[in-house]
Amino acid sequence: MYRISLFNIIIGLIFIFVVSGCSITVTDAPPPDIPKKELPVEENKKEEKVITKIPEPLNIQNGSFEKVYGWLDDETVIYSYNNEGKYFLESYQLFSKHHEVIFTSEAPIMNVLIHKHSKQLFIHTSPYSHAAKVFFTDFKGNIDFSTEIDSYELIYEWNETDPSLMLVTAFFEDWSYKVHLINSKTGKIKEIEDLQPFFKWFNGNEILEQDWQPEELTFFAPVLKKSINNTSKSEIIFDEVFRFDIFANNMMTIKVEEKNKESLIYSFFDMHHKEIFNATFPNISQYSDWLIPFYSFIEKSSLFVTFVPKKHDSLEHYNEGFDLVSVDIKRHKKTTIFNDLENKPILCSEEGDLCLYGYQYEQVLNLNTGKIIQLVH
């Protein structure tokens, strides 16, 4: 069992919650003759065809809506609701209004992950305050594997190349933690030692983590690569960065440079650590570090979509709203899609025409038409 500083746990949990639900995908690096330079934001220019269909609002006849969790396909989402003490997970086709119950539970549904490449679900329920029960199912709710995990809080990362593998960090009330590797195919669970609690899968058996030092108050740390089969050895992938993420065959770092503390620098790399493109936006300071606005990634068009403040300011004083901006990693281009939105969670479909938006994903943004549709009334 490991212990880390409460400070590092808090900033890690905040970042996980900020980026949870981010879409992941595979993109290609641009041709080498394209210069790597910053281009101005191109206002409201879209090359995609305009989708004119309007999603039909979700109407729950019996029960209370809880949350939308993501996309089963480009037109179908899954959401949960509770009714008379039972909890239901249901699919909903946005245009035909067809809905179908996938899963029911006596315990509250805490979260649902959707595996993009295998049509599987990971369902996290909480039968007790000190324990979680998790299920691996198909899109119809047929259970492949389930287990209980003692924990006060769970953080998990699903392997995109092998859907049978899930790494789960179980936190306890004193903020000590254990990292478990679940193999849903074999039914085996084993503890993995010498890992930080927050990490990302790099490939089939390697992970990336930031090398946060216990009890050290710091906002930057190097990114290490480790094999889950031998966590005692590591390789430095990036030097001191603020945060990082992986979108299948792309890596992203977020930095704040000493010479320009009023900006966030998003840098995108291929899996060989070669930089593809970078984009700089004004940042918002919060307490002693910086706000990372919510973001998503669109597979079909290789677009990174994020909220951008209109200027640098502090979180306490900033009140001018955010623009939703896309960063085309292949074409080295930035485009403003929406103006004056709130910084809220966003999750785009694979095609990228529609994005779920809001703390319960209760709205839909049409990136082609600029319309905002209330999904849940």
pLDDT value at position 4?
55
What is the pLDDT at residue 33? 33
CATH of the domain at 107: 2.130.10.120
164 contacts 143 by C-beta, under 8 angstroms:
no
pLDDT of residue 343: 98
Q: Is 54 helix (H, G, I), strand (E, B) or coil?
A: coil
Instruction: Give the separation between CA 309 and CA 319, rounded to whole angstroms.
Output: 9
pLDDT tens sequence across 83-137: 999 999 999 999 999 999 999 999 999 999 999 889 999 999 999 989 999 999 9
What's residue 249's pLDDT? 85
pLDDT in tens, the chain (377 residues): 665 554 455 445 545 444 443 333 222 233 333 333 333 444 444 444 455 688 999 999 899 999 999 999 999 999 999 999 999 999 999 999 999 999 999 999 999 999 988 999 999 999 998 999 999 999 999 999 999 999 999 999 999 999 999 999 999 999 899 999 999 999 999 999 999 999 999 988 999 999 998 777 789 999 999 999 999 999 999 999 999 999 878 999 999 999 999 999 999 999 999 999 999 999 999 988 999 999 999 988 889 999 999 999 999 999 999 999 999 999 999 999 999 999 999 999 998 999 999 999 999 999 999 999 999 97
Residue 136: strand, helix, or coil: strand
Residue 15: closest CA among 188, 195, 219: 219
- Say which residue the tokens 């570090």 belong to: 289
**Domain range holding 350?**
2-374
Category of 197 on φ-ψ map: left (φ > 0), alpha (ψ -120 to 50) or beta = alpha
Helix (H) or strand (E) holding 232: strand 230-241
Phi-psi region for residue 192, left (φ > 0), alpha (ψ -120 to 50) or beta? beta
Which pLDDT belongs to residue 50? Answer: 52
Q: Which two tokens stand for residue 24?
A: 């992941």
- pLDDT for position 277: 95
Which segments of the chain does DSSP mark as H helices, in order? Answer: 6-19
Q: Tens digit of pLDDT for each residue in 181-207?
A: 999 999 999 999 999 999 999 988 999
CB contact set of 31 (below 8 Å; sequence gap of 6+): none
> pLDDT at position 85, please?
93
Q: How many domains does the chain have?
A: 1
